[in-house]
Structure 1
Amino acid sequence: MAIPLLRIFLLVIALAAAASSATAEDALAPDAQASDTHAPADAAPAEASAPSLGTLRPPSAARAAEGLAASRSQVLELRDPAPRVLTLDLTRDANDIWDRIRRGFGMPDLDTEAVAEQQLFYLNRPGFLKKVFERGGRYLYHIVDELERRGMPTELALLPMVESSYNPMAYSRARASGLWQFIPSTGRNYNLTQDKWVDERRDVIASTNAALDYLQTIYDMHGDWHLALASYNWGEGAVGRAVQRNLAEGLSAEYSQLRMPEETRNYVPKLQALKNIVSQPELFHFELPYVPNTRHFVTVTAPAGIDLATAARLAEMPLDEFIALNPSYNRPAIAQANSLVIPVDRAERFRARLAEHESSGKQWRTYEMRRGDTLASVARDFGLSVNELHQINGLDARSRVSPGYTLLVPNGVEPDGAIAAARMIPRNAALDTSTIPSPSASKADKKGGRKGAQAKGGGKSGAAKASAGSRTAGKASPGSAKAPAKSGARAAPKSSGKSAKPAQTNQKR
């Protein structure tokens, strides 16, 4: 009798344990099911929600559960990781320029699906991203320095990447030019000289000052950095009207709520995406190129008449690198005593060699066309071919010049270096189509949306109008004329009674 009773007792214990296990499993199942397949009625689907800033989108709980649900005996709690908080040690000096930029972030973050899309767009092109950050390295210290001096948020140092991919030769179909993509009228409004000798929209120092002046003006107008950036892209008049339209309809006047061209709607998300990547590159498995937090260049006064190739040689720099620091010149020689931008570590040597060069008397001069002159006759008188004269002066076979037109001509100096430099100077630089296309293109320029009092561009964001990097429509390139093949020595300029005067113009920096 004892044995049957013992068996019954053990059976009761087993049944009780099974019931307890089933109850626990049933209690857990609804929660797991809710997190896997259901969302509150007022919530967006998990796949459609934007990731938190600075975090990568995690796999959905549903997909994760499907892969791990082989056994109900295992209970897994799946949660989105909490956003990582960016921490900075302000008691030490910045490690590099990126560290310094992070310390000066001052704009409110934008956390939208558009930001996630732009972030993914950049991260899917790591080679492009690295190339553009490297190109920006020569300009970033100066831009960050100026932002800090003015008390402006350092996110703005990343704006030239959106605008021009940090290419000072970028030129758009809307005629916007330079790192900051000024159109001619806004450039003139901000005192950027634009003539046949120089275009200060491409000048690194002058255009940065003008861009930050403009950005501060439109920030003061709107009191909101997102609206200021939208104005920089679309025009403050257009943004102001969009704000008033929303207010009149009882809607929010925040950037994300305005009705804007698609390009403008994606403009701030592009900058925010870059900010996120710079904030925590390791989170995105992206390595920022090292850019030291040290001054990259200084300005040195150079005399009138020196050509860019000679200046590059005196600075012991490749010509293309020299022009990248001095991109504002429309001609391959300096028409008036002016400042040249020279790397800090080469400046002292450059000054010494420049003094030696000045004593040689070899320089470029200007010649004013007279009645009866032709380009062929002037070229012959100064020992040039017509093609060489064209290249040096930004002309082509269709060019017609009249008496009084000023030409750049050599005075005791071989023109080969100037011709090489001329090939690197854009003649209304076409844009680079070999790089990344825009995910979207706006037609705001065709609708006149950029006609605010100081509209900067032409209805396109930096994505659509910049060159040498992101989303462009043609390549910054020199003139197409080529120097003729040479045989033997160059004919010496003959004395023709024509006087060439020292190069000069009313340009300023």
Structure 2
Amino acid sequence: MLKITSKFTLLITAFFLTYLYAPQSSANYAHTIALKIKSEPLRATEICSDQNDLLCEISSDFQPLYTGNHIADYQKEIRSYGSNPAEMEFILINSKPYLYYVFQKVKEYHLPAQLVFVPAAETNYQAHSISSAGAAGLWQFMPATAHEFNIHMRPGYDGRSDILQSTDAGLHHLMASYKRFGNWLLAMAAYNCGDGRVDEAIRYNLARHRPTDFWSLPLPHQTKVYVRNILAISAIMTRPSKFGIKLPDIPNRPYFSKIQIKQNITPSNAGFIAGINFNDMKKLNPAITDWQNTLNTDYTLLVPQSKKEEVLDRLSSIDAVAA
């Protein structure tokens, strides 16, 4: 009997060791990690103390956005990003020219650092994005909402795609919704589906004596996924290597600088004289829709920070820089 029991014990031990150390698919691995972190607080546990690393500083500045333990509610989104590291890396690489500026504005207004990932949920940080409904830019403004938040649109220039204007407007949009609802998850939800739709969901639950937090409201499925995506990206950012995600190197310093150009200089000529690759100019200045004609007003041109002095010298030599 003792020998049989010993053999049985060895077989059971071998089985569990085989299961424990068996290779996992990326999807199963992401699921395992999602389960592991579902009771852990959202804070930077893996990265880092490097003040020169922008992603490090952002993740170190995360704030609690809700009470209670709800990580289980967005495990599906965590698994989706975690099982496809290339998607997360794609978003972060896209964000490289803009992320420092967005984060500085978030800090200036004393907002939660997680809001830097709203453009990730909106457009994967692709500044030239235009939706099928006609929303444009990193922050996806429709013309009417752009007007409400003082974004300028004129021939040759669409301020909805202007990195400076749209970021300021997007954050003010979120702040206005936060002031209305008193909750950042509801503010993000309202950014996606509108304040009126969130109000309607709150009234629906109040009439039925139900909770009115984000997790309980009957919001559109797209809106729920939208907010959960922002939370999932933030959660993964605190533990990237556990999902096999290699964070790109994004220095914690300005990527671009702004120069005022006189109205009689076409954007195309300004870029050519500045000696900057046209694709780089378009990446930093997606609001300019007509590069060949003058814009009938002085305008701001964003140029790589590393080339600012050289660009100023070149443009000043033809009296192109506005006071």
Indicate the TM-score class for this superposition, using the shorter chain for normalisation. Answer: 0.7 to 0.9
Partner of 1:326: 285
In the TM superposition, what is the alpha-carbon distance from 1:337 to its structure 2 partner? 1.6
Secondary structure in structure 2 of the residue aligned to 1:295: coil
Change (3 A) 1:329 1:87: closer
Alignment of 1:76-225 (within 5 A): 83=40, 86=43, 94-108=51-65, 111-225=70-184
Identity of counterpart residues, as a percentage?
A: 26
Secondary structure in structure 2 of the residue aligned to 1:330: coil
Any conservation in 2 of the 1:308–1:323 contact (CA below 8 Å)? Answer: no
5+ unaligned residues in a row in structure 1: which ranges? 1-14, 26-49, 59-79, 360-509
Q: Distance in 1 between matches of 2:98 and 2:41?
A: 30
Q: Distance in 1 between matches of 2:41 and 2:201?
A: 35
One of 209, 213, 222 as aligned partner of 1:263: 222
In the TM superposition, what is the alpha-carbon distance from 1:125 to its structure 2 partner? 2.8
**TM-score (norm. length: structure 1):** 0.53
5+ unaligned residues in a row in structure 2: which ranges? 10-29
Q: Distance in 2 between matches of 1:246 and 1:353?
A: 62
Specify which structure has the higher proportion of helix. Answer: 2
**TM-score (norm. length: structure 2):** 0.82
Residue type of the alignment partner of 1:98: L
Change (3 A) 1:252 1:84: closer
Number of residue-to-residue matches in the alignment: 293
Secondary structure in structure 2 of the residue aligned to 1:201: helix
Change (3 A) 1:181 1:309: same
One of 353, 358, 369 as aligned partner of 2:314: 353
Say whether 1:56 aligns with 2:34. yes
Any conservation in 2 of the 1:107–1:225 contact (CA below 8 Å)? Answer: no
Any conservation in 2 of the 1:299–1:339 contact (CA below 8 Å)? Answer: yes
Change (3 A) 1:144 1:287: same
In the TM superposition, what is the alpha-carbon distance from 1:220 to its structure 2 partner? 0.8
Any conservation in 2 of the 1:56–1:283 contact (CA below 8 Å)? Answer: no
Secondary structure in structure 2 of the residue aligned to 1:357: coil
Alignment of 1:214-363 (within 5 A): 214-332=173-291, 333-335=293-295, 336-358=297-319
Change (3 A) 1:87 1:170: closer
Alignment of 1:360-439 (within 5 A): none
Residue type of the alignment partner of 1:243: I
Change (3 A) 1:124 1:140: same
Change (3 A) 1:353 1:223: same
Change (3 A) 1:144 1:321: same
Any conservation in 2 of the 1:141–1:293 contact (CA below 8 Å)? Answer: yes
In the TM superposition, what is the alpha-carbon distance from 1:112 to its structure 2 partner? 4.7
Change (3 A) 1:317 1:176: same
1:54-90 per-position Cα deviation (integer Å, ceiling 9, x unaligned): x3347xxxxxxxxxxxxxxxxxxxxx99748745799
Any conservation in 1 of the 2:149–2:169 contact (CA below 8 Å)? Answer: yes
Any conservation in 2 of the 1:107–1:155 contact (CA below 8 Å)? Answer: no
* Pair member with larger Rg: 1
